[in-house]
Amino acid sequence: MLKSRFLSSVLFCCLLLVFSSGSSFAQSPAAITESDVMTFLDSMDKAARKKNLAPIIAALADDVKIKLVVSVQGSDKEEVIHLNKEQWTYSTRRALRRRFAYTLERKNTRLKMYDDNKTAMATSDLYETMTVAQAKVRAVSSETVIVTLRNGKLVVISSETRVRFY
Protein backbone atom coordinates (compact mmCIF):
# COMPACT_ATOMS: atom_id res chain seq x y z
CA MET A 1 0.00 0.00 0.00
CA LEU A 2 2.79 2.43 0.92
CA LYS A 3 4.67 1.47 -2.24
CA SER A 4 1.55 2.19 -4.32
CA ARG A 5 1.14 5.61 -2.71
CA PHE A 6 4.80 6.39 -3.19
CA LEU A 7 4.72 5.38 -6.87
CA SER A 8 1.59 7.47 -7.39
CA SER A 9 3.38 10.48 -5.91
CA VAL A 10 6.42 9.80 -8.07
CA LEU A 11 4.19 9.64 -11.16
CA PHE A 12 2.75 13.01 -10.17
CA CYS A 13 6.25 14.42 -10.04
CA CYS A 14 6.77 13.19 -13.62
CA LEU A 15 3.47 14.59 -14.74
CA LEU A 16 4.11 18.00 -13.26
CA LEU A 17 7.45 18.24 -14.88
CA VAL A 18 5.99 17.34 -18.24
CA PHE A 19 3.66 20.28 -17.88
CA SER A 20 5.75 22.70 -16.08
CA SER A 21 5.79 24.31 -19.47
CA GLY A 22 2.81 26.47 -20.43
CA SER A 23 -0.20 28.68 -19.74
CA SER A 24 -2.38 31.06 -21.69
CA PHE A 25 -1.48 34.73 -21.90
CA ALA A 26 -2.33 37.74 -24.01
CA GLN A 27 -0.32 37.88 -27.22
CA SER A 28 -0.42 38.74 -30.88
CA PRO A 29 -2.72 36.31 -32.70
CA ALA A 30 -0.49 36.31 -35.79
CA ALA A 31 2.89 35.15 -34.46
CA ILE A 32 4.87 34.21 -31.36
CA THR A 33 8.31 35.28 -30.21
CA GLU A 34 10.97 33.62 -28.08
CA SER A 35 9.91 35.95 -25.27
CA ASP A 36 6.31 34.68 -25.55
CA VAL A 37 7.49 31.08 -25.26
CA MET A 38 9.73 31.83 -22.27
CA THR A 39 6.85 33.64 -20.53
CA PHE A 40 4.66 30.61 -21.26
CA LEU A 41 7.23 28.24 -19.73
CA ASP A 42 7.76 30.47 -16.68
CA SER A 43 4.02 30.69 -16.00
CA MET A 44 3.69 26.92 -16.08
CA ASP A 45 6.65 26.49 -13.75
CA LYS A 46 4.96 28.84 -11.28
CA ALA A 47 1.68 26.91 -11.52
CA ALA A 48 3.52 23.59 -11.00
CA ARG A 49 5.31 24.90 -7.92
CA LYS A 50 1.97 26.00 -6.45
CA LYS A 51 0.34 22.69 -7.53
CA ASN A 52 -2.24 24.76 -9.39
CA LEU A 53 -3.61 22.34 -11.95
CA ALA A 54 -6.14 24.59 -13.77
CA PRO A 55 -3.67 26.72 -15.79
CA ILE A 56 -1.66 23.62 -16.66
CA ILE A 57 -4.72 21.82 -18.04
CA ALA A 58 -5.77 24.95 -19.94
CA ALA A 59 -2.36 24.99 -21.65
CA LEU A 60 -2.78 21.49 -23.09
CA ALA A 61 -4.23 21.13 -26.55
CA ASP A 62 -7.13 18.69 -26.68
CA ASP A 63 -5.04 16.47 -28.99
CA VAL A 64 -1.80 16.72 -26.97
CA LYS A 65 0.60 13.77 -27.17
CA ILE A 66 2.52 13.07 -23.96
CA LYS A 67 5.41 10.63 -23.66
CA LEU A 68 7.28 9.96 -20.43
CA VAL A 69 10.37 7.78 -20.28
CA VAL A 70 11.02 7.01 -16.61
CA SER A 71 14.05 5.34 -15.03
CA VAL A 72 15.33 4.97 -11.50
CA GLN A 73 18.82 4.87 -10.06
CA GLY A 74 20.26 1.38 -9.92
CA SER A 75 18.21 0.05 -12.82
CA ASP A 76 18.86 -0.11 -16.54
CA LYS A 77 15.15 -0.52 -17.27
CA GLU A 78 13.04 2.34 -18.58
CA GLU A 79 9.27 2.61 -18.34
CA VAL A 80 7.61 4.34 -21.31
CA ILE A 81 4.25 5.95 -20.63
CA HIS A 82 2.01 7.50 -23.30
CA LEU A 83 -0.81 9.75 -22.12
CA ASN A 84 -3.50 11.93 -23.63
CA LYS A 85 -4.93 15.04 -21.97
CA GLU A 86 -7.69 13.16 -20.13
CA GLN A 87 -5.33 10.50 -18.77
CA TRP A 88 -2.78 13.10 -17.66
CA THR A 89 -5.47 15.16 -15.92
CA TYR A 90 -6.90 12.14 -14.10
CA SER A 91 -3.49 10.91 -12.90
CA THR A 92 -2.37 14.35 -11.79
CA ARG A 93 -5.59 15.08 -9.89
CA ARG A 94 -5.22 11.77 -8.02
CA ALA A 95 -1.63 12.52 -7.12
CA LEU A 96 -2.49 16.04 -5.92
CA ARG A 97 -4.66 14.55 -3.17
CA ARG A 98 -1.47 13.71 -1.29
CA ARG A 99 0.42 16.26 0.76
CA PHE A 100 4.03 16.79 -0.19
CA ALA A 101 6.63 19.50 -0.61
CA TYR A 102 7.70 20.17 -4.20
CA THR A 103 10.45 22.24 -5.82
CA LEU A 104 11.21 22.73 -9.51
CA GLU A 105 14.06 24.44 -11.32
CA ARG A 106 14.32 24.77 -15.11
CA LYS A 107 17.79 25.19 -16.65
CA ASN A 108 19.46 25.21 -20.05
CA THR A 109 16.33 26.11 -22.01
CA ARG A 110 16.89 26.14 -25.74
CA LEU A 111 14.26 27.35 -28.19
CA LYS A 112 13.76 26.65 -31.85
CA MET A 113 11.24 28.87 -33.60
CA TYR A 114 9.67 27.34 -36.70
CA ASP A 115 9.24 29.23 -39.97
CA ASP A 116 5.48 29.66 -39.51
CA ASN A 117 6.14 31.91 -36.46
CA LYS A 118 3.32 30.07 -34.69
CA THR A 119 5.20 27.00 -33.45
CA ALA A 120 8.23 26.54 -31.24
CA MET A 121 10.16 23.69 -29.68
CA ALA A 122 11.57 24.18 -26.18
CA THR A 123 14.16 21.82 -24.74
CA SER A 124 15.03 22.15 -21.05
CA ASP A 125 16.65 20.35 -18.16
CA LEU A 126 14.42 20.12 -15.10
CA TYR A 127 15.53 19.52 -11.53
CA GLU A 128 12.82 18.52 -9.06
CA THR A 129 12.62 17.53 -5.44
CA MET A 130 9.56 16.04 -3.82
CA THR A 131 9.27 15.22 -0.12
CA VAL A 132 6.61 12.66 0.80
CA ALA A 133 6.25 11.23 4.30
CA GLN A 134 9.78 12.29 5.24
CA ALA A 135 11.27 10.64 2.16
CA LYS A 136 12.97 12.89 -0.39
CA VAL A 137 12.86 12.01 -4.08
CA ARG A 138 14.94 13.87 -6.63
CA ALA A 139 14.39 13.81 -10.37
CA VAL A 140 16.45 15.12 -13.25
CA SER A 141 14.69 15.38 -16.58
CA SER A 142 15.27 16.34 -20.15
CA GLU A 143 12.08 17.79 -21.60
CA THR A 144 11.13 18.65 -25.17
CA VAL A 145 7.85 20.49 -25.56
CA ILE A 146 6.28 21.70 -28.79
CA VAL A 147 3.93 24.65 -28.43
CA THR A 148 1.82 26.30 -31.07
CA LEU A 149 -0.49 29.25 -31.39
CA ARG A 150 -4.16 28.22 -31.52
CA ASN A 151 -7.10 30.60 -31.20
CA GLY A 152 -4.83 33.39 -29.98
CA LYS A 153 -3.04 31.45 -27.22
CA LEU A 154 -0.08 29.12 -26.87
CA VAL A 155 -0.87 25.47 -26.19
CA VAL A 156 1.24 22.36 -25.73
CA ILE A 157 0.72 19.94 -28.62
CA SER A 158 3.51 17.49 -27.82
CA SER A 159 5.72 16.66 -24.86
CA GLU A 160 8.48 14.11 -24.45
CA THR A 161 10.24 13.89 -21.11
CA ARG A 162 13.02 11.58 -19.99
CA VAL A 163 12.95 11.38 -16.19
CA ARG A 164 15.55 9.81 -13.90
CA PHE A 165 14.70 9.45 -10.22
CA TYR A 166 17.37 9.38 -7.51
pLDDT in tens, 64-89: 999 999 998 888 899 999 999 999 99
CATH code for position 62: 3.10.450.50
> Which residue from 160, 164, 154 is spatially nearest to 28, judged by alpha carbons?
154
Could you tell me the pTM of the whole model? 0.80
Domain range holding 130?
2-165
Distance from C-alpha of 133 to C-alpha of 141, rounded to nearest angstrom: 23
Q: Confirm if 53 and 96 have CB atoms less than 8 A apart.
A: yes
Total of domains in the chain: 1
pLDDT digits (tens, 9 = 90+) for 103-114: 999 999 999 999
| CA distances, 77 to each of 26, 60, 66 (Å) | 43, 29, 20
- Cross-strand partners of 147: 120, 156
